[in-house]
Amino acid sequence: MTRKSHNVYPSFRELREQHNISLERLLSEMHSTLHPDSVRQFDETGYGEVLLIDEALAALSYLSGTLYTRQNVAGLRFLLSADGRLPAPDTNRQFKVLPTRPTILQLRDYYGLSLYKLLEVADVEYRSLYRMINGVKVKRADAEAVLKVISAFTRVEYTLENVDVAVMGEQESR
């Protein structure tokens, strides 16, 4: 069983409020094509598209005079669903219940995840994700990065112990 580490960083909303930055002021600094409701949803829940989260962090950094990134803000949850919706099992999915040790592909189908968005947020090479979904051995760090992103999105802890991912041994990954 893996232990969850407690994030010592404040959330986006906590930082915005700490700097006394209103949502309206933040919106005025962000790209005009971003929908205000999406920004409000992100502020309330931490869920957002990659572009929206990065734009919000840039605007917060500019307005506060402090650099905020994905690494020093807690509770960022990237929308990985193909349709941009919050995480929920796809009602038209193949499985009503996931297998005991699902594959990455089964998780994708179950939650309606976009592999493109997963690739972008997990920051692994395309080839590595491709191998992962095809059952070919990958580096442990790549598999853990993908599972961490899926876990954050779904709020269900997925690890190498409970997901079927082929991982290279120590000698193979060198």
- Sequence ranges of the domains in the chain: 12-78, 82-174
Q: Which residues of the chain have pLDDT under 70?
A: 1-7, 82-96, 172-174
Distance CA 92, CA 97 (A): 12
Q: Which residues pair with 169 in a beta bridge?
A: none
pTM over 0.75: no
Q: Which residues pair with 56 in a beta bridge?
A: none
Tokens 């920051």 belong to residue: 123
User: Do 146 and 163 meet the contact criterion of CB atoms below 8 Å apart?
Assistant: no
Distance CA 24, CA 27 (A): 5
Taking only the tens place, the pLDDT of each residue in 102-130 is 999 889 888 888 888 888 888 899 899 98
CA-based nearest residue to 80, from 48, 46, 40: 48
